[in-house]
Amino acid sequence: MKKLLLMLALAGLAGAGEPGVITIQADKLGAEVSPNLYGIFFEEISHAGDGGLYAELLQNRSFEETLPVEGTRLEGERCIAPDLPHYLGVKESKRRPHGQPWSQEWKFTSPWPGWALDGAATMGIETKNPVHPKNVNYLRLKLAQPGARLLNEGYWGVAVQQGETYDCTFWARVAEGAGGAIKLGVVGTGGRELGAVIVGGVVSKAWKKYTASFPSLGTEAQAKFFLQPQLAGALDLDVITLFPRHTFKERPNGLRADIAQKLADLEPAFLRFPGGCVVEGATFANRYRWKETLGPLEARPGHWSLWGYRNTDGLGYHEFLQLCEDLGSAGMFVCNVGLACEFRNGDFVGGAQLEAELQDALDAAEYALGGPETKWGALRAKAGHPAPFPLVYIEIGNENHGQLYNERYTRFAAAFRKAWPQLKLIFNGGLNDEAPDPGVRNIDLFDEHYYKDADFFFENQHRYDHASRQRGYDIYVGEFACNKNVGRGNLRAALSEAAFMLGLERNSDLVKLCSYAPLFFNVNKLNWPVNMIGYNSATSFGRSSYYAQQLLAQNRPDVNLAHTLVTPGDMPAKYFAALPGLDRKAKEIVLRLVNGVEQPQQVKVCITGAKVPVQGAGRIITLAGKLTEENDEKNPKRIEPLCRGWQVPGQEFTLCLEPASLTVVGIPIE
């Protein structure tokens, strides 16, 4: 209501200069809009999965957090990558810091991050006869008498809600003494037990999995998990998990419902996974290995994310494919091509190791698409999903470029084309849009990345208007975000991206897909300055860029309409964008307009070529505010879309655009 009054008041103020004019020829169609244009990009960065989308409440559940980075050697307090040639050649290896191999400080405040003892007991990390050979560490807890509690702080708090049930599983083995019962539950910040349950009969000298559930009697964001053996002796513990009973689509080992719902509300046409640089790894041995993310949790070793923390891989390849299905999105898997991240160690493999990498990538497709009679399809069926998953795209490498990459693309793409001709294959141009070498075949899409300031995005709304259509492949703007001089992601950023995305849509005969990046961040740990969806342990919110994405995805027409555009007289042309399209099924002209300045603007709209019923039921959605405003955890909805009905005056009318706004106008036609 407040915004509606503001709009009406502004109608009198706007138009100090000449109004803008948009003339829409509703009977003259432009490029079809790619139905797959708006997708999402997932990477484990800023606790996107662990401590984010993945609903696990406990941190470091398998006690593996302090394991060194795969493929590195530990020297004092540093992990050091092997001194191998760089895939871009000698010059690039010189660019490594001090000309040395990539290395990383390896220091922890305790050997068991996330865990603490409350009471008289001792604990230590052990490795002999682990619960699973791939899960090397476990905790040995020694108690002279019952009483002490093992605490877990979760990911910046264990959040519980009154009335929700919490499901815990853990592996245990009695190392000394007769064993006994274990009490476990959640304790609030004031020391109040919010829920607990006693698991009896923990007496086995061999590893055994236990399960228990308890309801929470209160709501708290900063609670702690506790595990309190009611026994004396020594107990080995591993893979201690705690999940809320209600996850997205009620899946076990599932996803946080509030965060996953935010994805669903974006109506993403595709979901890219697992990145990003994590595909490549800090060094080759640290690359993403999808086969290590399958199966029971105790069989998943996890791995270190080059964004600075260890991943459980509980949200693994199978869970990614399941999410695609649950969101109705096409899957896009990014595979490694034997090259480590050029900005880290940049090492590479060839020969048999490269062939194995290629086979791994092909197996990933078989896992998703193969029949139950195939090796990997059978594993998928065994995991509870006999039908294929909706895998549609394979991106061959991430941000790789140069001669070696071109050769590898050629090799991988040919193998994929032969084995899985239905898959669309994506070539990447690195950070500088390097075109493929002549002769590289089997490219369906070319991936471009843009992390720039707002003026870049406003200015580049016409980037593809005159781009060649003769290159033999389409474009995927695979990573883009306005992330410079826009705070942590303000409205200016969102409006500049909206102007840019309208340019993608107008050129949708060429640009078939796009995805904002990065998608997620936990407010307690930022690896990247600007991201789309934030959260703490209990709540989540979208930055204004989230709402810009959502508005364009939810109001995507089928086809562009021919039009002419005159910018309102008192604003620089680059800050104005407008695009009409036709939603054939809804019989509606969908007009999207961006006003990138903080003054209201008037725009005359003239529609020809279709009958607009006088007083027809239209709709207007506005995302508006101050350019420097942003949503955060305290003000999650400072900027959010406001939707209202509207009686369309007829073929011609004047719109008053709010200052700093993205407006969607739905105009019914007969």
- Write the CA distances from 613 to 342, 523, 583, 652, integer angstroms: 58, 48, 16, 11
Beta-carbon-side half-sphere exposure of residue 493 (alpha carbons within 13 Å): 32
Residue nearest to ligand AHR (CB): 276
- CB of 479 or CB of 630, closer to ligand AHR: 479
Q: Which of 135, 253, 398, 536 binds ligand AHR (CB under 6 A)?
A: 398
Q: Among residues 479 and 497, whose Cβ is nearest to ligand AHR? A: 479
Give the residue ranges of DSSP H helices in 420-560.
454-459, 491-506, 544-554
Answer whether 335's CB lies under 8 Å from 412's CB: yes
Question: Of 154, 229, 268, 518, which one interacts with ligand AHR (CB under 6 A)?
Answer: 518
Q: Is 332 in the site for ligand AHR (CB under 6 A)?
A: no
Q: Does 338 bind ligand AHR (CB under 6 A)?
A: no
41 touches 517 (CB < 8 A) = yes
Least CB distance to ligand AHR at residue 161 (A)? 32
Contact predicate 281/304, CB 8 Å? no
Place of tokens 């490594």: 96
Positions 216 through 275 that interact with ligand AHR (CB under 6 A): 275
CB of 549 to ligand AHR, least distance (A): 15
> How far apart are the C-alpha atoms of 337 and 332, rounded to whole Å?
16
Distance of CA 436 to the CA centre of its chain: 27
Q: Does 277 bind ligand AHR (CB under 6 A)?
A: yes
Q: Where are the alpha helices (DSSP H) in 283-374?
A: 317-327, 351-369
Site for ligand AHR contains 342 (CB under 6 A): no
User: Considering beta carbons, is residue 420 or 528 the nearer one to ligand AHR?
Assistant: 528
Smallest distance from ligand AHR to CB 587, Å: 39
Minimum separation from the CB atom of position 150 to ligand AHR (A): 35
Q: Which is nearer to ligand AHR, 224 or 449 (CB)?
A: 449
Interaction between residue 479 and ligand AHR (CB under 6 A):
yes
Give, for 332, the enclosing helix (H) or strand (E): strand 330-335
347 touches ligand AHR (CB under 6 A): no
Interface characters, 553-592, with ligand AHR (x: CB under 6 A): ----------------------------------------
- The answer to whether 141 and 151 are in contact (CB under 8 A) is no
Q: Is the dihedral of CA 356, 361, 362, 367 positive or negative?
A: positive
Question: Pick from 276, 301, 397, 668: which binds ligand AHR (CB under 6 A)?
Answer: 276
What order do you get walking across the sheet with 540-542 strand by strand? Answer: 520-522, 533-535, 540-542
Residue 641, interface with ligand AHR (CB under 6 A)? no
Helix axes 375-382, 351-369, angle to 10 degrees: 50
Nearest 5°: the CA angle 459, 463, 469 is 175
Q: Which is nearer to ligand AHR, 212 or 517 (CB)?
A: 517
CB of 540 to ligand AHR, least distance (A): 19
CB of 42 to ligand AHR, least distance (A): 10
- Report in angstroms how near the CB of residue 523 gets to ligand AHR at its nearest: 18
* Residues 520-539 interacting with ligand AHR (rule: CB under 6 A): 528
| Among candidate residues 100, 107, 34, the one with its CA nearest the CA of residue 66 | 107
Query: Taking CB under 6 A as the criterion, which residues in 39-78 touch ligand AHR?
Result: 43, 45
Query: Applying CB under 6 A, which residues contact ligand AHR?
Result: 43, 45, 275-277, 398-399, 479, 517-518, 528
